[in-house]
Amino acid sequence: MLLELKPALKLTYKLRLTPQMRLSLNLLQLPLTKLKEYIKQEIEKNPLLELADSQPVPSKEKSDDSAAGLEGRQLGDEKPWSEEDEEKKRYKESLVTKLPTLQEHLLGQLRLLTNTDKELVIGELIIGNTNHDGYLMISIEDIAKSAKATLSKTKEVLSLIQTFDPLGVAARNLRECLLLQLKAKGKESSLEGKIVDKYLPFLEKKRLNYIAKKLFTKDQKVSVAKIRQAIKEIAKLEPKPGRSFDTEKAIKLIPDAMLRKNKGKYEIILNTSQLPRITLNDKYKKMIKQKNTPRDAKEYLRERLRAARSLINAVDKRKETLQKVIKEIFYIQKDFLDNGAAHLKPMSLIGIANKIGKNKSTVSRAITNKYIATPQGIFELRYFLNSGIKQKNGEFLSSKSVKSKIKDLIKNESKKKPLTDQQIIERLKHKGVSISRRTITKYRNQLKILSSKSRRE
């Protein structure tokens, strides 16, 4: 059989993103603080961009929210800012940006306390492989190999760094982290030290009677009451010594928007006060039209003008999309605003996308790393997406709502007779929630709640 190759035509359709669309999507996925930095950098690079004057700019967004009772306004438009206010704001922000990271803080101590270049190299490798929580993430053998140093010298430098501030830093696990803090307080041989050293897994499972029995000797009688007192002291230790330097969390929790109740209705207030207000530079715009402006300069200014307009349009588009997404989320989740997590409704990414006429990936960008301040606290927008459990009446119940109910039941249970998974099923059934035992166990594990046997005190 002969095979014959013939040319064939095939029509395919591909969505080609324009530079403006690409910029809009890139800005949409940025969290507020990253967007703020990006705008500042663009102002420095582009002479056609400048900060708007201190007069408030009226919001272009229309309040067409009769369905959800949610309105769109810009935060910070109520009162004009003076130059003095702007200067104070910039000064405060500069102080925040100058705070040292955990690595910078440790390197400063290392340079003061090491005696040789080899120790400095080893120490820099240890600090460079310490994560934001303060834990060393690779083995001491790998550090020694990378530094071309002996294992004993590497251990010596690690021991030095483990005496640095914050206490417990560069530990390889929770046990070592807590022991380092107890050692610094001269308590490594105390009851707390013994519990952390040998019985930490049993402490996590609340097996206090077992720990007391194991520590009981002829010379030392250890009661459960003493164990409880020791646990209180252990609880004062820091399990994540690096988190006081973790500025990323603080950055993330600056909300992009807030919800405020006004005359029984919720209004959306976009946090535009965090962003520099930008406009076009009139001086350079006029230069484009002037006859005496050199041709090359005109071409450059035209290109910069296009880039400036694209940025302004992309920032406006980000606001518009964020407004639509938030409005749709809280049209569905209004019960959550009034009554909390137990009243969350099932909601999907594609459901929001269909309602607001946007692409699924666009909505995903809009909700990732975006936070909103609500009457129930600050939440990432993605928090409100959750699956549903079908009930006997055909309705769907939010998985987060069920988890909240489980959490509340366990919170209020008897510590001597904790609820079994079967008892939780029965309690939920009385509340009109039908759920399998397998799902209860799965949700309990996701909530990091131990079994009833391990919860018993």
Q: What is the pLDDT of residue 443?
A: 81
Question: Has residue 249 got a pLDDT over 70?
Answer: no
Whether 162 contacts 180, CB under 8 Å = yes
Q: What is the pLDDT of residue 310?
A: 94
Question: Has residue 208 got a pLDDT over 50?
Answer: yes
Residue range 116-132, pLDDT digits in tens: 889 999 999 999 889 98
Question: Has residue 85 got a pLDDT over 60?
Answer: no
Give the residue-averaged pLDDT of 169-191. Answer: 89
Average pLDDT, the chain: 79
Give the residue-averaged pLDDT of 409-422. Answer: 86
* Percent of the chain predicted with pLDDT > 90: 23
Name the pairing type of β-strands 49-51 and 278-280.
antiparallel
d(CA 5, CA 434): 62
Q: What is the pLDDT of residue 97?
A: 38
* Percent of the chain predicted with pLDDT > 70: 81
Give the residue-averaged pLDDT of 401-426. Answer: 85
Question: Has residue 77 got a pLDDT over 70?
Answer: no
Among 403, 404, 392, 396, which residue's Cα sits nearest to residue 434? 392
| Phi and psi at residue 17, to the nearest 5° | -80, 130
Give the residue-averaged pLDDT of 62-66. Answer: 37
Q: Which residue has the higher pLDDT, 5 or 321?
A: 321
Of the pLDDT bands very low, low, confident and very high (cuts 50, 70, 90), residue 169 is very high
Q: What is the pTM of this model?
A: 0.51
CA-atom Rg of the chain in angstroms: 30
Of the pLDDT bands very low, low, confident and very high (cuts 50, 70, 90), residue 80 is very low
151: left (phi over 0), alpha (psi -120 to 50) or beta: alpha
Question: Has residue 90 got a pLDDT over 60?
Answer: no
Of the pLDDT bands very low, low, confident and very high (cuts 50, 70, 90), residue 313 is very high
Q: What is the pLDDT of residue 207?
A: 83
Q: What is the pLDDT of residue 280?
A: 92
Q: CA geometry: angle at 66 spanning 60 and 71, to 5°?
A: 40
Q: What is the pLDDT of residue 396?
A: 60
Question: Has residue 308 got a pLDDT over 80?
Answer: yes
| Ordered alpha helix ranges (H), 333-396 | 334-339, 349-356, 360-367
Q: Which residue has the higher pLDDT, 150 or 111?
A: 150
Instruction: Look up residue 194 and give its amino acid.
Output: K
Domains of the chain (ranges; CATH) run 34-75+253-311 (no CATH), 102-235 (no CATH), 388-457 (1.10.10.60)
User: In sequence order, which residues have a C-beta less than 8 Å from that of residue 349 and are 6 or more positions away?
Assistant: 360, 363, 364, 367, 385
Of the pLDDT bands very low, low, confident and very high (cuts 50, 70, 90), residue 401 is confident
- 260: β partners: 267
Among 370, 323, 255, 256, which residue's Cα sits nearest to residue 61? 323
Residue range 321-368, pLDDT digits in tens: 999 999 999 998 888 888 887 788 888 888 899 999 998 888 888 988
Q: What is the pLDDT of residue 112?
A: 75
Question: Has residue 258 got a pLDDT over 80?
Answer: yes
Q: What is the pLDDT of residue 81?
A: 45
Q: Which residue has the higher pLDDT, 424 or 135?
A: 135
| Residue appearing with tokens 């909530």 | 447
Question: Has residue 69 got a pLDDT over 80?
Answer: no
